[in-house]
Structure 1
Amino acid sequence: MTSQHLPADHPKIAPARTGILIANLGTPDGYDYWSMRRYLNEFLSDRRVIDLPRWKWQPILQGIILTKRPFSSGENYKLIWNEEKGESPLMTITRSQTEALRARAEAEWGDKMMVEFCMRYGNPSTREVVQRMVEAGCRRIVFLPLYPQYAGPTSATANDQLFRALMDQTWQPALRTVEPYFDRPDYIRALAQSVRRALDGRMPARLVASYHGMPKRYLMEGDPYHCQCQKTSRLLQQELGWPDGVIDTTFQSVFGREEWLRPYTVEHVADLARAGVTDIAVISPAFAADCIETLEEINGEIRESFEAAGGTDFTYIPCLNDDPAHIEVMLDVVRENISGWV
């Protein structure tokens, strides 16, 4: 039924559109104690992230971790905070990615498309953005979590939150969730291009591909993340045309006492330095945007570990961020997933 056929007392219906919703992990609203505590509480209460029984985990989280960790995490965020915009780099970059993708989408499809972004934790929340898109007339939504490799604590929890948001909607839009893009040729080419640009065409003694870590138990339970990370590294090596042994796959951000995917980046770079490998570069193929784990952890803690063990030349290769090649990958993914819709 079109608007001219509606009775006078019928609720207003917005013209139908297709939505593109990209999602990232999230960011605190500030680096003060209470902003950090709210963010960490939401993040660390997610059962996809910490799957311990609530009766066991919540007293530890509320009584110990959230008493101390907001201070230390806040200090780390302060080191990288975009003071000019009053936000974290992840927020700045994700907004820039969205604006670039929106411009490309409007040029190709006009006002039939609506492009927005949301965060799994913090603001803008998935629920808030989905509500806005539905009110704007989005009858169909392509959901693109910005995680090249699939993992339960990243891609799956982003999807979970989207599905929860749809439960609030009287008129639910049709939905397509995007599959991981860890082995797409255009994504691998974009990574290789970023390596060549950052290193000015040279090959370091070792390129460390550092991925976000997860408990090893998740791999044994069937999560494909580890295998997809290994394949991304292998395809990147092939695209660069480098010999075997130049690229190492490692994992960072270990949390808690159980064993996580190995080798741990912070230990591995120190081992390299002690073995006489003093020239390394580090890239983070699991991150679509630079954030606390790259700007502070890799370029801070991991760099310091390498230099303290005798390393001399450390190059951090930025994430793809809003690089035009990255935006083109995102646009191609959208093109494939709106097939038959637009």
Structure 2
Amino acid sequence: MRQTKTGILLANLGTPDAPTPGAVKRYLRQFLSDKRVVDTPRILWWPLLRGVILPIRSPRVAKLYQSVWMEEGSPLMVYSRRQQRALAERLPDVPVALGMSYGSPSLASAVDELLANDVDHIVVLPLYPQYSCSTVAAVWDELGRLLAKNRRVPGVTLIRDYADDSAYIQALANSVRASFAVHGEPDLLLLSYHGIPQRYANEGDDYPQRCRDTTRELVSALGLPPEKVMMTFQSRFGREPWRTPYTDETLKMLGEKGVKHIQVICPGFAADCLETLEEIAVQNREFFLEAGGEKYEYIPALNDSVDHIAMMDDITRPYR
């Protein structure tokens, strides 16, 4: 029997190449042109995107990126590369490539890299713990487009998500416990997930349920009473209703109600990025403190922690 050679493709959203208006504009144009992300009819959306949103939003977002940019580059790219290298070191006989849905390195470059290594089976691990049509499905769509051009198509295993995977939950729990050990146990642990339009959920996207699954398992692993945990959604965009409760409005409300100490973790982000390091760690901290809160800590994403890399090994092992 012919021996199958398997490679792993780590997929994430992507990031601008530089914290400049031009680079951010190029990135946002590609991101916001994907129908999986914004499904407004093109004839209506593109004039608004190109004539209003990109010119106004790009300089503003570039300034935010400048505030979190690391010496080696964008935080998402820095941590994603560290994840790729760490997993490759752990699995020396398995090629590991990194591809982004938007920007570079692209999913196309990742597939080419694996095929150049004579891989005939690709295990795709989208680093979105909770499935959504706007993230995981976008990876699947692009892979289909890429492989449609090939005469020889490798076997492909897509790991749909890992919202309640035991190794993932344990890694999150260890991270929370470490934060509690340093800062003390807070009055409330807030789990903030990236939002989606409520309409997507109404039309069948099971993302909210997968977020609830993660929350349930993490609370159980930590042994926290229900009243000490809340689940919210962040990063809404546009005018239509998104999944509630909203993180920013919840933090303002909690501060006003007299909650003094909060810690926030974002279980839907496998790597720290603009949405965690600026929106959660800075903006939302200010909302809480200005509303009357006294202590606020952001618990970092799992990034390239030992637990996280071990989880990637564990979750891909059955398919290698």
* TM class by smaller structure: over 0.9
Q: Does 1:175 align with 2:163?
A: no
Cα distance in 2 between the residues matched to 1:185 and 1:259: 33
Q: Does 1:99 align with 2:80?
A: no
Contact 2:136–2:160 (Cα < 8 Å) also in 1: no
Contact 1:278–1:312 (Cα < 8 Å) also in 2: yes
Cα distance in 2 between the residues matched to 1:27 and 1:208: 26
Cα distance in 1 between the residues matched to 2:289 and 2:317: 44
Cα distance in 1 between the residues matched to 2:234 and 2:148: 35
- Counterpart of 1:59 in structure 2 is 47
Q: Does 1:298 align with 2:280?
A: yes
Q: Tell me the amino acid that sits aligned with residue 58 of structure 1.
A: W
Contact 2:251–2:287 (Cα < 8 Å) also in 1: yes
Q: Does 1:30 align with 2:11?
A: no
Contact 2:97–2:113 (Cα < 8 Å) also in 1: no
- Counterpart of 1:40 in structure 2 is 28
Please show how residues 7-156 of structure 1 align to structure 2 within 5 Å. 17-82=5-70, 84-85=71-72, 87-106=73-92, 110=93, 113-156=94-137
Q: Does 1:198 align with 2:198?
A: no
Q: Tell me the amino acid that sits aligned with residue 137 of structure 2.
A: A
Q: Unaligned 5+ residue runs, structure 1?
A: 3-14
Q: CA RMSD in A?
A: 1.5
Q: Does 1:336 align with 2:313?
A: no
Contact 1:178–1:337 (Cα < 8 Å) also in 2: no
Larger Cα-atom Rg:
1
Secondary structure, counterpart of 2:178 in structure 1 = helix
Secondary structure, counterpart of 2:130 in structure 1 = coil
How far residue 172 of structure 1 moved from its aligned partner, in angstroms, is 1.3
Cα distance in 1 between the residues matched to 2:59 and 2:304: 31
TM-score by length of 2: 0.97
Deviates further, 30-39 or 126-135: 126-135
Q: Unaligned 5+ residue runs, structure 2?
A: none
Contact 2:19–2:65 (Cα < 8 Å) also in 1: yes
- Counterpart of 1:188 in structure 2 is 169
Secondary structure, counterpart of 1:245 in structure 2 = helix
Q: Does 1:238 align with 2:220?
A: yes
How far residue 16 of structure 1 moved from its aligned partner, in angstroms, is 6.7
Q: Tell me the amino acid that sits aligned with residue 305 of structure 1.
A: F
Secondary structure, counterpart of 1:121 in structure 2 = coil
Deviating beyond 3 angstroms after TM superposition, the runs of 4 or more aligned structure 1 residues are none
TM-score by length of 1: 0.91
Cα distance in 2 between the residues matched to 1:283 and 1:323: 15
Cα distance in 2 between the residues matched to 1:178 and 1:147: 10
Q: Tell me the amino acid that sits aligned with residue 68 of structure 2.
A: I
- Counterpart of 1:165 in structure 2 is 146
Cα distance in 1 between the residues matched to 2:189 and 2:31: 31
